[in-house]
Protein backbone atom coordinates (compact mmCIF):
# COMPACT_ATOMS: atom_id res chain seq x y z
CA UNK A 1 0.00 0.00 0.00
CA UNK A 2 1.37 3.38 -0.97
CA UNK A 3 1.71 5.88 1.88
CA UNK A 4 -0.11 8.97 0.66
CA UNK A 5 0.57 10.97 3.81
CA UNK A 6 3.36 12.97 2.24
CA UNK A 7 5.31 15.17 4.61
CA UNK A 8 5.76 18.86 3.90
CA UNK A 9 9.31 19.71 2.91
CA UNK A 10 10.74 23.19 2.60
CA UNK A 11 10.79 23.95 -1.15
CA UNK A 12 14.53 24.40 -1.12
CA UNK A 13 16.13 24.73 -4.53
CA UNK A 14 19.85 24.73 -3.77
CA UNK A 15 22.33 25.85 -6.37
CA UNK A 16 24.99 23.23 -7.02
CA UNK A 17 28.12 25.23 -7.71
CA UNK A 18 30.51 22.27 -8.13
CA UNK A 19 32.50 22.65 -11.34
CA UNK A 20 30.60 25.67 -12.52
CA UNK A 21 27.28 24.08 -11.62
CA UNK A 22 27.57 20.80 -13.48
CA UNK A 23 28.21 18.76 -10.33
CA UNK A 24 30.96 16.69 -11.91
CA UNK A 25 33.39 17.16 -9.03
CA UNK A 26 35.78 18.97 -11.33
CA UNK A 27 36.54 21.28 -8.43
CA UNK A 28 37.95 18.31 -6.50
CA UNK A 29 34.90 17.54 -4.42
CA UNK A 30 34.58 14.12 -2.86
CA UNK A 31 32.21 12.05 -5.04
CA UNK A 32 29.92 11.42 -2.07
CA UNK A 33 29.57 15.20 -1.61
CA UNK A 34 28.62 15.56 -5.28
CA UNK A 35 25.93 12.88 -4.95
CA UNK A 36 24.66 14.37 -1.65
CA UNK A 37 24.31 17.79 -3.30
CA UNK A 38 22.33 16.17 -6.14
CA UNK A 39 20.04 14.62 -3.52
CA UNK A 40 19.17 18.11 -2.30
CA UNK A 41 18.20 19.13 -5.84
CA UNK A 42 16.06 16.00 -6.24
CA UNK A 43 14.41 16.57 -2.84
CA UNK A 44 13.45 20.11 -3.89
CA UNK A 45 11.67 18.69 -6.95
CA UNK A 46 10.02 15.97 -4.85
CA UNK A 47 8.63 18.70 -2.54
CA UNK A 48 7.16 20.50 -5.55
CA UNK A 49 5.68 17.23 -6.82
CA UNK A 50 4.16 16.53 -3.40
CA UNK A 51 2.44 19.92 -3.43
CA UNK A 52 1.06 19.26 -6.94
CA UNK A 53 0.01 15.78 -5.87
CA UNK A 54 -1.95 17.13 -2.89
CA UNK A 55 -3.68 19.62 -5.21
CA UNK A 56 -4.71 16.72 -7.48
CA UNK A 57 -6.18 14.83 -4.52
CA UNK A 58 -8.14 17.97 -3.65
CA UNK A 59 -9.66 17.94 -7.12
CA UNK A 60 -7.31 20.40 -8.77
CA UNK A 61 -6.51 20.25 -12.48
CA UNK A 62 -3.60 18.32 -13.98
CA UNK A 63 -1.02 20.99 -14.84
CA UNK A 64 0.52 19.19 -17.79
CA UNK A 65 3.52 21.52 -18.25
CA UNK A 66 4.52 20.97 -14.61
CA UNK A 67 4.24 17.19 -14.82
CA UNK A 68 5.96 16.95 -18.19
CA UNK A 69 8.85 19.03 -16.86
CA UNK A 70 9.00 17.03 -13.62
CA UNK A 71 9.06 13.73 -15.54
CA UNK A 72 11.80 15.08 -17.81
CA UNK A 73 13.82 16.06 -14.73
CA UNK A 74 13.32 12.63 -13.15
CA UNK A 75 14.43 10.83 -16.32
CA UNK A 76 17.36 13.05 -17.24
CA UNK A 77 18.74 14.20 -13.91
CA UNK A 78 17.54 11.84 -11.16
CA UNK A 79 17.87 8.64 -13.22
CA UNK A 80 20.29 9.10 -16.10
CA UNK A 81 22.73 11.47 -14.40
CA UNK A 82 22.46 10.73 -10.68
CA UNK A 83 21.47 7.06 -10.58
CA UNK A 84 23.82 6.46 -13.50
CA UNK A 85 26.77 7.75 -11.48
CA UNK A 86 25.71 5.65 -8.52
CA UNK A 87 25.06 2.36 -10.32
CA UNK A 88 27.85 2.40 -12.89
CA UNK A 89 30.53 4.12 -10.81
CA UNK A 90 30.03 4.41 -7.04
CA UNK A 91 28.30 1.06 -6.48
CA UNK A 92 30.79 -0.66 -8.79
CA UNK A 93 33.69 0.75 -6.75
CA UNK A 94 32.12 -0.37 -3.47
CA UNK A 95 31.51 -3.84 -4.86
CA UNK A 96 35.08 -3.92 -6.14
CA UNK A 97 36.16 -3.04 -2.58
CA UNK A 98 34.31 -6.04 -1.18
CA UNK A 99 30.64 -5.12 -0.78
CA UNK A 100 28.36 -7.99 -1.86
CA UNK A 101 26.70 -7.24 -5.20
CA UNK A 102 23.93 -9.76 -4.46
CA UNK A 103 23.10 -9.09 -0.80
CA UNK A 104 24.78 -5.81 0.19
CA UNK A 105 23.36 -2.27 0.47
CA UNK A 106 24.07 -1.58 -3.21
CA UNK A 107 21.80 -4.48 -4.21
CA UNK A 108 18.99 -2.87 -2.20
CA UNK A 109 19.67 0.54 -3.74
CA UNK A 110 19.71 -0.89 -7.29
CA UNK A 111 16.34 -2.58 -6.63
CA UNK A 112 14.90 0.72 -5.37
CA UNK A 113 16.18 2.53 -8.46
CA UNK A 114 14.26 -0.02 -10.56
CA UNK A 115 11.12 0.53 -8.44
CA UNK A 116 11.50 4.26 -9.08
CA UNK A 117 11.69 3.65 -12.84
CA UNK A 118 8.45 1.65 -12.67
CA UNK A 119 6.75 4.38 -10.61
CA UNK A 120 7.92 7.03 -13.07
CA UNK A 121 6.53 4.99 -15.98
CA UNK A 122 3.19 4.76 -14.14
CA UNK A 123 3.18 8.58 -13.94
CA UNK A 124 3.97 8.86 -17.65
CA UNK A 125 1.07 6.57 -18.56
CA UNK A 126 -1.37 8.31 -16.19
CA UNK A 127 -0.43 11.69 -17.66
CA UNK A 128 -0.89 10.37 -21.21
CA UNK A 129 -4.37 9.14 -20.21
CA UNK A 130 -5.17 12.46 -18.43
CA UNK A 131 -6.11 10.33 -15.40
CA UNK A 132 -5.69 12.62 -12.39
CA UNK A 133 -6.39 10.03 -9.65
CA UNK A 134 -3.89 7.58 -11.18
CA UNK A 135 -1.31 10.33 -11.59
CA UNK A 136 -1.77 11.40 -7.98
CA UNK A 137 -1.41 7.82 -6.73
CA UNK A 138 1.69 7.13 -8.84
CA UNK A 139 3.28 10.45 -7.88
CA UNK A 140 2.60 9.79 -4.20
CA UNK A 141 4.29 6.42 -4.49
CA UNK A 142 7.28 7.85 -6.32
CA UNK A 143 7.81 10.72 -3.88
CA UNK A 144 7.55 8.45 -0.83
CA UNK A 145 9.91 5.88 -2.38
CA UNK A 146 12.57 8.41 -3.40
CA UNK A 147 12.50 10.28 -0.09
CA UNK A 148 13.01 7.05 1.83
CA UNK A 149 15.67 5.90 -0.64
CA UNK A 150 17.65 9.15 -0.41
CA UNK A 151 17.49 9.03 3.38
CA UNK A 152 19.04 5.54 3.34
CA UNK A 153 21.80 6.61 0.98
CA UNK A 154 22.62 9.79 2.89
CA UNK A 155 22.64 8.15 6.32
CA UNK A 156 23.78 4.58 5.68
CA UNK A 157 25.41 3.97 2.31
CA UNK A 158 27.31 7.23 1.87
CA UNK A 159 29.01 7.18 5.31
CA UNK A 160 29.99 3.58 4.53
CA UNK A 161 31.31 4.66 1.13
CA UNK A 162 33.49 7.38 2.69
CA UNK A 163 35.09 4.77 4.91
CA UNK A 164 35.65 2.27 2.06
CA UNK A 165 36.93 4.50 -0.77
CA UNK A 166 40.67 5.06 -0.84
CA UNK A 167 42.33 7.97 -2.64
CA UNK A 168 42.70 6.02 -5.90
CA UNK A 169 39.01 5.10 -5.89
CA UNK A 170 38.04 8.72 -5.20
CA UNK A 171 40.15 9.85 -8.17
CA UNK A 172 38.59 7.21 -10.44
CA UNK A 173 35.11 8.33 -9.41
CA UNK A 174 35.92 12.00 -9.99
CA UNK A 175 37.14 11.17 -13.49
CA UNK A 176 34.08 8.99 -14.09
CA UNK A 177 31.67 11.69 -12.93
CA UNK A 178 33.35 14.17 -15.29
CA UNK A 179 32.87 11.70 -18.17
CA UNK A 180 29.16 11.37 -17.33
CA UNK A 181 28.67 15.13 -17.19
CA UNK A 182 30.73 16.24 -20.15
CA UNK A 183 30.62 13.24 -22.52
CA UNK A 184 27.36 11.43 -21.73
CA UNK A 185 25.03 14.24 -20.66
CA UNK A 186 26.78 16.98 -22.63
CA UNK A 187 28.16 20.39 -21.82
CA UNK A 188 25.78 22.62 -19.91
CA UNK A 189 23.00 20.02 -19.57
CA UNK A 190 23.51 19.52 -15.82
CA UNK A 191 23.19 23.26 -15.22
CA UNK A 192 19.98 23.40 -17.25
CA UNK A 193 18.50 20.60 -15.13
CA UNK A 194 19.51 22.48 -11.97
CA UNK A 195 17.66 25.53 -13.31
CA UNK A 196 14.67 23.35 -14.16
CA UNK A 197 14.66 22.12 -10.54
CA UNK A 198 14.60 25.71 -9.29
CA UNK A 199 11.74 26.53 -11.69
CA UNK A 200 9.75 23.50 -10.55
CA UNK A 201 10.35 24.33 -6.89
CA UNK A 202 9.09 27.84 -7.64
CA UNK A 203 5.87 26.39 -9.01
CA UNK A 204 6.47 27.62 -12.55
CA UNK A 205 5.48 25.59 -15.63
CA UNK A 206 8.89 25.79 -17.35
CA UNK A 207 9.94 24.29 -20.65
CA UNK A 208 12.09 21.14 -20.31
CA UNK A 209 15.80 21.59 -21.12
CA UNK A 210 16.99 20.89 -24.65
# chain residues binding Fe ion, by CB under 5 A: 1
Nearer to Fe ion, 52 or 153 (CB): 153
Nearer to Fe ion, 153 or 181 (CB): 153
Give the residue closest to Fe ion by C-beta: 153
For the CB of residue 33, give the shortest distance to Fe ion in the complex, in Å: 13
Contact 206, 69 (CB under 8 A): yes
Looking only at residues 147 through 206 of this chain, which bind Fe ion when binding is defined by CB under 5 A? Answer: 153
For the CB of residue 118, give the shortest distance to Fe ion in the complex, in Å: 17
Contact 146, 49 (CB under 8 A): no
For the CB of residue 154, give the shortest distance to Fe ion in the complex, in Å: 8
Nearer to Fe ion, 41 or 137 (CB): 41
Nearer to Fe ion, 54 or 147 (CB): 147
The dihedrals phi and psi of 27, each to the nearest 5 degrees, come to: -85, 10
Segments in 8-154 forming alpha helices (H): 31-57, 64-73, 84-85, 91-96, 105-128, 132-152
Between helix 31-57 and helix 64-73 the angle, nearest 10°, is 160
- Supply the DSSP string of 175-197, one letter for each residue: HHHHHIIIIII-TTHHHHHHHHH
Nearer to Fe ion, 37 or 127 (CB): 37
CA-to-CA distance for 113 and 1, rounded, in angstroms? 18
Q: Which stretch binds Fe ion (CB under 5 A): 71-79, 115-123, 145-153, 168-176?
A: 145-153
CA-to-CA distance for 87 and 181, rounded, in angstroms? 15
For the CB of residue 35, give the shortest distance to Fe ion in the complex, in Å: 6
For the CB of residue 152, give the shortest distance to Fe ion in the complex, in Å: 9
Contacts with Fe ion by CB under 5 A lie at 153
Amino acid sequence: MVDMNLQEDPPAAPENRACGGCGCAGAGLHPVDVLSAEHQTILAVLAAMAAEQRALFDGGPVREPFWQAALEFLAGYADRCHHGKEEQLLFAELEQAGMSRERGPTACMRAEHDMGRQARQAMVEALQDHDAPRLAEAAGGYVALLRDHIDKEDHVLFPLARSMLDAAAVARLQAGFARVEHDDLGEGVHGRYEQLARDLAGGLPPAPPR
